[in-house]
Amino acid sequence: MTAGSERVVERLFFAAAFVSAFVTVFIFGFLVYYGLPLFSGGRFIEILSSPWAPHQGSFGIYPMIVGTLAISMLAMVFAFPLSMGCAILISVVSRGRLSKVIRKVVEAMTGIPTVVYGFVGIFLLIPLVRNVFDAGSGMCVLSASLMLAVLVSPTMILFFCDSFDRVPRSYGHAVLALGGTRIQQFLHVTLPCSWPGIVVAVTLALGRAVGDTLIALMIAGNAVQVPGSVFDSARTLTSHIALVFAADNESLEFKAIFACGVSLYLFTTILVLIIRLAVHERGKCGQVR
Amino acid sequence: MKGASVGRFVERAIITFSWLAGAILLTVICAVTGYLCFKGLKTMSPALIFGSTDPMSALLLRQRVFDGLFPAMAGTLLLVLMSVGWAIPIGTAAGIYLAEYAGGGTKKIFNLLFDLLAGLPSIVIGLFGFSLTLFLNRHVSKELHPCLLLSSIALAFLILPYIIRTTQIALENLPVQNRLTGLAMGATRLQNLFHVLLPQALAGMVSGVLLAIGRCAEDTAVIMLTGVVASAGVPRSILSHYEALPFYIFYISSQYADQQELATGYGAAILLLFICLFLFAVAFVIKKNLPCQVFSQR
């Protein structure tokens, strides 16, 4: 191969990377461009904070933002302790084979399609919530966040375990040598040392919970309202996009879904930056070793 | 002494809590899969896929299948093949650039953008795919509407970051001596890449592709905005509407007319679950068992 053709291939590699990176920026540009009438003259803030009443000419997405936050935050409230418990079980409490088996099951869980969770949610979880809490149709914030918790837990557990494993062994051995138990070792050494990893895991899981469409769309009920309790129906930004898309095509009402898209894009950007910072912190921690 | 007993109590509590959490998780997962199998395994038969049509004539596209999953499976298969076909060359090349060529500053910017792309909700990618359709329809050809081609392009963007990352990581994890031997023997950078580094990184790259296929097969949000429909038959061209397995499951869950249709929905859910878990297992085995070492020095 000549030096010339070698350079051509290298250029191609660069072109591929550039195109992929460019697409990321391009997506943002497209969303803003198509939602344009809604973004001009500082109307974006207004849209974020006003109610959805298309017949009165108000296309605010405030109820959807609250719905998204309520569902995903509640999902995190369920998922965090569950994942922390499972991660402790896998890396600290159980030993040998059992620990490996549980880990395999958790890994396999990350491969379960979202739509399958949604499907089972409709026919198994919703009747359960309806009967146990006597909560109307059962399609509510609580059902959606329970199912989302199941969706995001495996990722969180694996990241927790990974960050526990990254803590240098010698630190832990020092505790054991002083007569400490494995739980003491975990509480006083492993946990404080692995906080950047925990931040990364929680942020990633939150991103998945906010970005997931199918579960909320299928089991949260999709009423456009600011949910007053966990038994109220709610609509997320993602399901709003899917629902309005299916209904209508050329009006200002339709343009509002691009405002949802832009909000989700910006939210993702913030989460990615948080993850970057946390990973950077972990890098610093590594230098101490 | 009091401190010690409090400590022991906390310790007990943590241990109990962790077992409880593990039990809850396993119960939930058994409930989900068990419920699906309980409701859906009895529908598992050729009739689930081909309905009342003769399987052979359905496969040869002589007869359209109306009451089976065949069109949805064909749509998903085509969709996966096309998206992966777009994403593999671009993703692999970008991954190679990032691992082997990119310098500090460029690499930082690219890494950030790929993380962002990986983090974007799939409905946002779908919305982008839809606006791309609008754009192409207005400026390129009036014939372009949401279709298999545009869905596959949008899905390719969804899986691109996975493929880039796995390629990059597989290359970066190669031991330094493997990296230097070829160069020391006079190979050029590119020869070293194609004859030494890529063959060794192949296992990692293939498992990444399999995970990407799983992601394509299960994704519903992207295709919902870019051309999937509930009933279209086997797609006739890449510019036509199509059916897909995950969308079928979604559609049936809210629109089923009778118990027969609902049973097909359970069947479809089991089928999709098995396909995804199978891909996942194969990816796992490849990653574990095929280090593809050209030099067996380790």
Q: What is the pLDDT of residues A92-124, one digit of tens each?
A: 888 788 899 999 999 999 989 999 999 999 999
Q: How far is A238 from chain B (nearest CA, A)?
A: 6
Q: Write the residue in B39, B115, B272 that is nearest to A272 by C-beta.
A: B115
pLDDT of residue A41: 66
B interface mutation test: which of A13, A30, A114, A254 has the most B CBs within 10 A?
Answer: A13
Chain A interface, best mutation among B123, B164, B253, by max A CB count within 10 A? B123
CA distance, residue B40 to nearest chain A CA (Å): 11
Q: Is B21 within 8 Å of A102 when comparing Cβ atoms?
A: no
Superfamily of structural domain A63-288: MetI-like (1.10.3720.10)
- Write out the residue range of the structural domain in which residue B163 sits: 48-289
In total, chain B counts a number of residues equal to: 298
B285–A contact, CB cutoff 8 A: no
Using the predicted structure, report yes or no on whether residue A131 has a pLDDT greater than 80.
yes
Percent of chain A with pLDDT over 90: 45
Residues B161 and B26 in one domain: no
Assess whether B93 and B23 both reside in one domain: no
Query: Measured between alpha carbons, how far is B277 from A149 in angstroms, rounded to an integer?
Result: 20
d(CA B236, CA B148): 10
**CB interface of B with A, residues 123-182, below 8 Å:** 123-128, 130-132, 134-135, 157, 160-161, 164
CB–CB contact A245 B224 (8 Å): yes
Indicate whether B27 and B90 sit together in one domain: no
> For residues A154 and A32, what is the distance between their CA atoms, to the nearest angstrom?
34
Query: Which of the two residues, A98 and A35, has the higher pLDDT score?
Result: A98
- Each domain of chain A, given as residue ranges in start order, spans 3-34, 63-288
How far is Cα A73 from Cα A41, in angstroms, rounded to an integer? 32
Q: Which structure tokens are listed for B59? A: 């496969």
Q: Of B70, B227, B55, B257, nearest to B154 (Cα)? A: B227
CA distance B110 to chain A (A): 6
Residue type, A125: L
Q: How many domains does chain B have?
A: 2
- Rounded to whole angstroms, the Cα distance separating A127 from A125 reads 6
CATH number, domain of B173, equals: 1.10.3720.10
Regarding whether B107 and B169 lie in a shared domain, the answer is yes
Domain identity same for B85 and B210: yes
| DSSP one-letter string for chain A | --HHHHHHHHHHHHHHHHHHHHHHHHHHHHHHHHTHHHHGGGHHHHHHHS-EEGGGTEE--HHHHHHHHHHHHHHHHHHHHHHHHHHHIIIIIS-HHHHHHHHHHHHHHTTS-HHHHHHHIIIIIHHHHHHHH--TTS-SHHHHHHHHHHHHHHHHHHHHHHHHHHS-HHHHHHHHHTT--HHHHIIIIIHHHTHHHHHHHHHHHHHHHHH--HHHHHHSB--SS--SSTTS-B--HHHHHHHHHHH-SSSHHHHHHHHHHHHHHHHHHHHHHHHHHHHHHHHHHHHH-
B89 and B11 co-located in one domain: no
Report whether A18 contacts B115 (CB < 8 A): no
How confident is the model at residue B50, as a pLDDT?
A: 81
Largest CA distance in chain A: 75
Measured between beta carbons, the chain B residues lying within 8 angstroms of A94 are 22
Mean pLDDT of chain A: 87
Q: What is the ipTM of this complex?
A: 0.89
Q: What is the pLDDT of residue B296?
A: 40
pLDDT at A288: 43
Chain centre distance of CA A277: 18
Residues B82 and B18 in one domain: no
Residues B39 and B78 occupy one common structural domain: no
Q: For each of chain B's 298 residues, which pLDDT tens digit applies?
A: 566 788 888 889 999 999 999 999 999 999 999 999 898 888 888 878 887 777 777 777 777 777 788 888 889 999 999 999 999 999 999 999 999 888 888 899 999 999 999 999 999 999 999 888 888 888 887 777 888 999 999 999 999 999 999 999 999 888 888 888 888 888 888 888 888 888 888 888 888 898 899 889 999 999 998 888 888 878 888 888 888 999 999 999 888 888 888 888 899 999 999 999 998 888 888 877 765 444 444 3
d(CA B104, CA B98): 10
Q: Do B110 and A21 touch (CB under 8 A)?
A: yes
From the list B7, B18, B273, the residue facing A116 with the nearest CB is B273
Residue, of A81 and A247, whose pLDDT is higher: A81
Say if CB B215 and CB B166 are below 8 A apart: no
Is there a domain that residue B168 lies in?
Answer: yes
**How far does B32 lie from chain A, in Å, by closest CA?**
6
Q: How far is CA B97 from CA A16, A56, A167, A272, in A?
A: 8, 53, 31, 22
CB A138 within 8 A of CB A129: yes
Contact predicate B207/B166, CB 8 Å: yes
Q: Looking at the domain assignment, is residue B298 inside a domain? A: no
pLDDT score recorded for residue B53 = 77
pLDDT at residue B298, rounded to an integer: 38
B118 and B196, same domain (yes or no)? yes
User: d(Cα B40, Cα A185) in Å, to the nearest integer?
Assistant: 47
> Is the Cβ pair B128, A27 closer than 8 Å?
yes
Considering CB atoms only, which of B18, B31, B121 is closest to A238? B121
CB contact under 8 A, A238 and B120: no
In a domain, B174, yes or no: yes
Q: What are phi and psi of B239, to 5 degrees?
A: -105, 15
What count of other Cβ atoms lies within 10 Å of the Cβ of residue B173? 11
What percent of chain A has a predicted confidence (pLDDT) above 70?
94
Tell me how many degrees the CA angle A229-A235-A236 measures, rounded to the nearest 5.
110
Mutate to test the interface with B, among A19, A24, A117 (most CBs of B within 10 A): A24
Residue A193 reports pLDDT greater than 90? no
Pick from A147, A148, A125: nearest CA to A138: A125
User: Would you call B220 an interface residue with chain A, using a CB distance cutoff of 8 Å?
Assistant: yes
Q: How far is A119 from chain B (nearest CA, A)?
A: 6
Q: Which of the four pLDDT bands, split at 50, 70 and 90, describes residue A287?
A: very low
What does the angle CA A219 – CA A236 – CA A118 come to, to the nearest 5 degrees? 25
Which chain B residue shows the shortest CA-CA distance from A210?
B121
Q: Identify which of A17, A84, A93 has the shortest CB distance to residue B15.
A: A93
For tokens 């605010």, what's the residue? A60
Q: Which residues of chain B from 227 to 256 reach within 8 Å of chain A, CB to CB? A: 246, 249-250, 253-254
Hey, how many other C-beta atoms are within 10 angstroms of the C-beta on A22? 12
- One domain for residues B101 and B182: yes
Two tokens, residue B124: 């946002």
Does residue B295 belong to any structural domain of this protein? no
Burial of B5 (0-12, 13-18, 19+ CB in 10 A): exposed
CA distance linking residue B191 with residue B187, whole number of Å: 6
Q: Is residue B30 part of a domain?
A: yes
pLDDT at B294: 41
Among the ranges A41-50, A143-152, B219-228, which has the highest mean pLDDT value?
A143-152
Q: How confident is the model at residue A49 (pLDDT cuts 50, 70, 90)?
A: confident
- Does B14 share its domain with B151? no
Residues B57 and B154 reside in one and the same domain: yes
